[in-house]
């Protein structure tokens, strides 16, 4: 596991640069999850490290495969200096631990909710999992292991999350695009959903 996480961290560093901060969170019965912070101009990126140590397994499977299954890490990008976004470390670690704790398989199009603001004063309590491959390329592993996918997270307001449940992830992303929504703005309001 330590070797795998070293390779995952190397991929993050090659794509995002050197992290300027890191924090670790351990939940009862789970492995340690780290969150690394990367700065790039006016953007700050938070990436989890540790979620990919084990493959995600469907909770209905009778026996969890210790080798095969999807692996992922989470990446959140916001504009720096507009909110106290460093408080997102614990919520991100909670989301990254959810496959171990709740048996979730985190995949593009999924909604993940922490139930509280992602950081103090944030209008967001949940995120939409976006398609990987843009910012950080998938990390291929030796067969039979699945690649590690670096899944971008897009913060959602409660209204957007409710609208997404009815209309789907693609429709919400189209709405954001049509309205020119700055998804990196940590203080943005909900997109018009009429």
Cα–Cα distance measured from residue 33 to residue 52, given in angstroms and rounded to the nearest whole number: 10
Tokens representing 174?
Answer: 């189209």
Q: Are strands 111-113 and 126-129 parallel, antiparallel or unpaired?
A: antiparallel
Q: What is the pLDDT along the chain (194 residues), one digit of tens a residue?
A: 669 999 999 999 999 999 999 999 888 777 899 999 999 999 999 999 999 999 998 767 767 777 888 999 999 999 998 889 999 999 999 999 999 888 889 999 999 999 999 999 999 999 999 999 889 999 999 989 999 999 999 999 999 999 999 999 999 999 999 999 999 999 999 998 87
Residue 36 and residue 12 in contact, taking contact as beta carbons nearer than 8 Å:
yes
Give the pLDDT confidence of 27-73 residue by residue, as tens digits: 877 789 999 999 999 999 999 999 999 999 876 776 777 788 899 99
Cα–Cα distance measured from residue 127 to residue 57, given in angstroms and rounded to the nearest whole number: 21
* Omega cis (within 30) before 127: no
CA angle 85, 91, 97 (to 5 degrees): 145
pTM: 0.94
């Amino acid at each position: 596991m330590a070797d795998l996480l070293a390779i995952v961290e190397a991929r993050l560093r090659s794509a995002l640069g050197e992290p300027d901060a890191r924090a670790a969170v351990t939940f009862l019965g789970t492995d340690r999850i780290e969150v690394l912070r990367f700065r790039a101009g006016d953007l700050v990126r938070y990436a989890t490290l540790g979620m990919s140590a084990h493959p995600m397994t469907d909770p209905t499977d009778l026996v969890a495969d210790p080798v095969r299954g999807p692996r992922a890490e989470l990446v959140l990008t916001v504009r720096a200096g507009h909110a106290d976004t460093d408080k997102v470390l614990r919520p991100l670690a909670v989301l990254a631990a959810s496959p171990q704790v709740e048996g979730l398989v985190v995949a593009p199009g999924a909604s993940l909710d922490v139930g509280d603001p992602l950081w103090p004063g944030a209008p967001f309590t949940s995120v939409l999992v976006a398609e990987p491959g843009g910012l950080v390329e998938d990390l291929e592993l030796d067969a039979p292991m699945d690649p590690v996918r670096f899944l971008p997270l897009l913060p959602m307001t409660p209204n957007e999350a409710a609208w997404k449940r009815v209309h789907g992830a693609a429709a919400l992303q189209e709405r954001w695009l049509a309205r020119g929504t700055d998804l990196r703005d940590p203080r943005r309001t909900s997109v018009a959903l009429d």
